[in-house]
Amino acid sequence: MVEDIKQQQKQGLGNFKNYLAVCCLTNILGNGRAWVMSLGLVVSELSEEPVWKGKVITFGDSQYELVLHLIQGDDLKSKAKFMMRTNKDFSIANFPEACDLILEVAVNENLKPQQMVKKVFVFTDFQCRVIDWKPSYEAVRSKFKEQGYGDDAIPKVLIWGLFDLNMPSIV
């Protein structure tokens, strides 16, 4: 599937090169966890090298800490195992914190605005809620501006609720 999408990108049919996934789970059981992890892997594989390719944001050791991971593994099976090990079952995805992680990478790698993450996919289950980041938007905007980035460098967020595995919906 990833190779097919890459071929379409070469033909100008879509662009996932500067996207990043946040995998936010609570108590998904069975295939739901695999859906979230699989979608996170697809987005990470389609992202642009060397900065965003193979990276995903999941929770750290607490429900309030987000971590940007470089997915480990040589094949799909080992990458999936890594994703399952590193993702925690917590319920809050803090978009401003995700923006802080993105900005930190951008500053450390001296990225140009066109290399910034354009869209953040938050793959989540029904019980997961996303902190309302709108009140924090100005703070995020100010941080980006302090580092020399304009409004066009602030990523858009797409929350994809996978609580109905028969029909995923955009929240």
- With respect to residue 18, please indicate whether it lies within any of the assigned structural domains: no
Which residues, in sequence order, are bridge partners of residue 70?
A: 55
In a domain, 9, yes or no: no
47 within domain boundaries: no
Cβ proximity of 107 and 147 under 8 Å: yes
Taking residues 75-81, report their average pLDDT. Answer: 87
Asked whether residue 115 is assigned to any structural domain, the reply reads: yes
CB 160 within 8 A of CB 39: yes
In tens, the pLDDT along 95-147 reads: 778 888 999 999 999 999 888 998 888 887 655 455 555 667 788 889 999 99
Asked if the structure places residue 109 within a domain, the reply is yes
User: Domain count of the chain?
Assistant: 1
Residue 35 is assigned to a structural domain of this protein: no
User: Strand locations in the chain, DSSP E?
Assistant: 19-24, 55-59, 66-70, 92-93, 119-124, 129-130, 156-161, 169-170
Range of the domain at 76: 62-86+93-129+159-170
pTM over 0.95: no
Which of 42-46, 50-54, 110-114, 166-170 is most confident? Answer: 110-114
Q: Residue 88 — pLDDT band, cuts 50, 70, 90?
A: low
76 part of a folded domain? yes
Q: Is residue 14 part of a domain?
A: no
